[in-house]
Each structure stands twice: as C-alpha cells, then as structure tokens.
Chains A and B, each alone.
Chain A
Amino acid sequence: MVTTTSPARQRLETGGLWLLLTAGALVMFFPIYWMFATAIRPRDEIFSGAVNLLPTGWVWSNFTAALSRMPFLDWTWNSLVIAIAAVVITVSLNLLCGYAFAKFRFAGRDILFIGVLSALMIPIQVIIVPLFLVVADLGLLNSYWGVILPRAAEAFGIFMVRQFMVSIPDELLEAARLDGASELTIFLKVVLPLSKPIIAVLIIFTFMWRWNDFVLPLVILTDQEMYTVQLGLNLLKGQYNTEWTDIMAIALLSLMPMLVIFVFFQRQLIQGIAGTGLK
C-alpha cells in the first residue's frame, strides 16, 4: 500500500507490526520446538513436573531406542513406496487431464470439468464404505495399490494444472501443429517445458498429501506390517502406557521428509500457489 502518513509514524507502525508478527511466529513455532525438546530429553525428566523450556541434556539415543521398539523403518518404507508411486501416477495424469481441459474444445468439456470439481466436494467418509468394498472386490485390500489407485486421480491437481495452462499461448501450440507434430509430442516437447513451476508444485503437494494420508490407509491397510508412518504414529499414541519421548521422537522422524522438502522448496511451495490460480 502507498502511505500518506509521516515517516516517523510509519517507522513506529512498522516496528510494532514486526514485533507482533514475530511474537506470533514464536507461538506458532513453539509446538514444533517442543516436539524436538521432548524427543531429546532424558526420559524421567518428562514426568518430574519441572518446566525446563531448554533441554537439560541431549539424549540422542532416544531416537535409536524408539526405533528399536517400533518397526518405524518398515512403515517409512511403506509410506515412501506409496507416496512416490502416487507422485509418478498422479502428476502425469493431472498434467494430461488439466492440459486437455485448458487447451482443447470438445463436446461435454464443461460438464466433465464440473464433474471433476464435484469430486472435490465428496468427503471420503461419505463413500468410504462402498470404496472399501470396491477395493476389496478388486482384491487390493491390504496392498499398496489399494491405497494408491483410489487417490491416483486428484481433482485439486487437475484444477491447478488447468488454471496454470490456460495462460500458455495458443499460437505456440498452433505453430507446432503446423509443423506436423503429434498432439502427444506437442504436450511433451512444448507444453511440459513451459510447465516446470506447476510440475514442481504438483510433485511437492502430491507427495505431501499421500505421505500425510490417514483415513484410506486406516481402512485398507489392516496388517501392521503394511502400515504407513501415520498409522504407526496413531498406533503409538493409542497405546495404554503413553511413552511421550518415543512418540515425539517418531513424530519428529515422520516429519523429516516433509521438512526436507519444505526447507529446499519453500520458495516454490509458497510462491507456487500464486501461479496456480489459487487466488
């Protein structure tokens, strides 16, 4: 905003705002910090009732201890397989489908697009019973595919791709068509190179959504060996004798892939939303 107030008053205002926003950020960050502080704390300190905001000792062996008690590495493997397969399938299909909705005119396009958007509004709990039956009939209960396939078509992704690709100039596509390129070639050689920002956003979001999924795996994956990280975490939390050090250690480890992605891609994550029509 352009301001009409005096520079001195403006500086005071900005300073006050900054303090407020920083205080808010400290509050927001505290739960993450506290998870970390609990995870590395000596076990018995937790129940002593003392409030030590700073850790009194760094017990890194808490992590190895938690890992030895829980098949966390197996759950991580399951989550990784599911999330990576979902990224490959979902991102490819989203790009193809979103491109068709953005750049082709065809009979029934608007109806079909509304159909895609309406899928956004259907809570999974509304369809979870029949979805469970469909997955069972396909013989996919308790399997990776049973969790991957039902979520492979992602309405939100299609919507974001469409919004992004609408702004690709038609002339570019026409020029390639006049050169005799096939539609698939145009898609691969012309459209995709222009779509790198949205592809980055899709990869990050899809990985995040699938890594963090809960309801569908909860219903489909019944065998503890097939559990994902989130199901394992829930299992830990539900145990009668709550070991908070273990839980916080595992919770912290479960965040690691997302934290790494967040630190490396936070620019794309935050700015990417601007380029995807989510505004």
Chain B
Amino acid sequence: MADLSMTYPKERSETTTSRKPGWWSSYRSRLTPYLFIAPNLLLFSIFVFFPLLYAAYISVHQWSLIDAPEFNGVQNYTRLLSDGQFWQSLTNTVVYSAATVPTSLFLGLFLAIGLNRKLAARTLLRSIYFLPVVVSSVATAVIAAWLFNDNYGIINALLKQAGVGPVAWLSSPRWALPSIILTTLWVRIGFCMVVYLAALQSISPSYYEAAVIDGATRPQQFRFVTWPLLRPTTFLLLILNVIYSFQVFDLIFVMTGGGPGFSTTMIVQYIYQAAFASSEMGYASAMGMVLFVLILLFTLIQWRINRRTEQFV
C-alpha cells in the first residue's frame, strides 16, 4: 500500500517503454509468489508433513508415550499380518467403500440429470437433496441412531405396522454396517448430485443439438455426449469418495462406536483405539502408514487409468 503511494506518481511521469526495474524490484517480484504461499507452507510443514514423517518414525518403535520410544524394526508391521481385528477393520473399510462409492455416484448422477431438466420446484428439490451435506457427521449419527433405535425408532415402528421386523439395526452385527451405509448414502448422494449438476450445466447445448441432427435418441445422447464429457467429474468424485470412505470416522464413532463387536470398526477407528485407548503409539502409527500407502496407491492407479483412457477420447 505504502509502495503504491510512493511509486505511483514517479512511474506515471516516465514513459511506459522506458520502465526498467532495478535489481531489487526484480528480485522482490521473483520473491512475491514465495511470500504469498509461505504462511500456508509453514502451517502444512508443521501440522501435516512433519507429523507424517514423525508417524513413519514412530511406526518402527514401540512406544506408550510414557517411556522413551524403543526401536523394534518392522515388528509393528508384521504384527498387523496376524491381527484378526486389523483384517476385519480392513475388510469392513473395503465393504463400506464398495457399497457407498458406486451407489452414491450413480444416484447422484441420476438426480443431477433429473434436476437439470425444467421441473416444478426444481430449486427446492435440489436444496432438500443437498441439505444433509451441511449437517455435521455427529448430528447425522445422532439422528440416525434415533431413527434406527431397536425399540423406539421410527423405522422399526413403521416396519411393525407393515407387518415386518422388528430388525435389530444397530445392535446386531448383521445389520449395523448396512445401517451405517444407508446413513452415509443420505449424506453423499447430495454431494455427488451437486458436483455432477455443476458439470452438466457447463456442457454446451450445441453438442446435443448436433447429436439430434445425427438422429441420436435420448439414451444415445447420454452414452455418446453426456457420459464422456462427465468423465473428469466422475474421476474426481470417485477419488474424493474413496478417500472419504477410507477416512470415515465421526459418523461411526458416534453411531455405533465400531460395534457390536468389531462389526463396524474401520481402519481409522482401530488406529484411534490403538493410540488413545491402548496407548500403542507405534502400532497405531504403523496402521496409519499402511492406510496412507493404500490411499496413495489407489489414487495413483486411478490416475494412471484415467490418463491412459483419456488419450483415446
């Protein structure tokens, strides 16, 4: 600001062609972008990247926070291999992701296409579908626990009137995970819908006009125009949804606490338990590193597939 008031008159008096920056100002202008990103990089370094390296370090130690960390090589990692609860939490995470990700993408796309048409109360319908996205996971979990309540929940009450059930939604290992999956869909569908809607609105109508001139039916328009143009969006949503699914914590922590038994325990919750309930920092960190590598691998593979297929489009 002070800079402006000092240089502005002087610059004006010069002709624009003769503006020669001195070494200081050219040095400073090269420094500008670094100054602009410096605060963020500093925060990332302290609170994300350093902790990540630190986690890798802790993962090869045995440490309960009280004594000094004791190096134990890859023991934490080999212990994972024979830990049934780890495998169950990994299986739960994969099942949960496989159930939630394709479903929310598909339903989100369906809603987006539907609500992109001219329909009565379209804006209201969009808002209702999006509303769950702004509700916190904790509130969502609390509401869901009440709806699915075995004895007094409205879902079982309605089922009873229909002559079915009652179902032990949250207290049986069989139904707890499906309940959580349904609750997750409630939140995710709206998110996918909005992102797809934004993408649909950026497709130029001229593509469809051209397709119609070529005699394309509505399904053909979708197959040959809409779907290919939505590919980058689908890719982004796929990655984001898988990452969200692998990181799901709040919802399950509040809704079932991972139970009954280990039927709804996900990796992240097992990590949390190992660290803050059993004080096994090394073991928790080793699991964290495995999770990190899994997410990284998934993202890289998707990236490669996306890049390769993109070349043929």
Which A residues have a C-beta under 8 Å from some C-beta of B?
1-5, 14, 17-18, 20-22, 24-25, 28-29, 31-32, 34-35, 38, 46-47, 49, 51, 93-94, 96-97, 99-101, 104, 106, 109, 112, 115-116, 119-131, 133-134, 149-153, 155, 158, 178-185, 187-188, 208, 211-212, 214-215, 219, 230, 233-234, 236-237, 244, 247-248, 251, 254-255, 258-259, 261-262, 266, 269-271, 273-274, 278-279
Contact = CB atoms under 8 A, between A and B. Distances in A.
A241 to B, nearest CB: 14
Interface in B15-60: 16, 19, 29-30, 32-34, 36-37, 39-41, 43-44, 46-52, 54-55, 58
Interface stretch (B77-85, B98-106, B134-142): B134-142
B227 interface: no
Contacts of A115: 44, 49
10 contacts: A21-B125, A25-B125, A28-B128, A28-B131, A32-B143, A93-B40, A97-B37, A121-B299, A127-B52, A270-B197
A258 B135 CA distance: 7
Contacts of B51: 127, 130-131, 134
A279 B125 contact: no
A233 B250 contact: no
A49 to B, nearest CB: 7
Given A251-B139, A262-B131, A116 B44 contact: yes
Nearest to B251: A214
Nearest to A233: B138
Contacts of B117: 14, 17
A237 B253 CA distance: 11
Main secondary structure of the interface of A (DSSP, over half): helix
Given A2-B209, A25-B128, A153-B47, A273 B194 contact: yes
B297 to A, nearest CB: 11
B301 interface: no
B3 A104 contact: no
Given A34-B143, A215-B272, 16 more contacts: A2-B209, A3-B218, A5-B218, A22-B125, A31-B144, A104-B36, A120-B243, A131-B47, A134-B46, A188-B1, A211-B136, A214-B249, A214-B253, A254-B136, A259-B134, A270-B197
Contact of A128 (B1, B46, B272): B272
A251 B255 CA distance: 14
Main secondary structure of the interface of B (DSSP, over half): helix
B111 interface: yes
A178 B19 contact: yes
Contact of A126 (B11, B137, B288): B288
A1 B221 contact: yes
A155 B154 CA distance: 40
B295 A184 contact: no
Contacts of B199: 279
Interface string B92-129: 00000000000000000001001101011100011111
A184 B129 contact: no
A106 B37 CA distance: 11
A274 to B, nearest CB: 3
Nearest to A131: B51
A32 to B, nearest CB: 7
A4 B115 CA distance: 20
A248 B48 contact: no
B232 interface: yes
A21 B134 contact: no
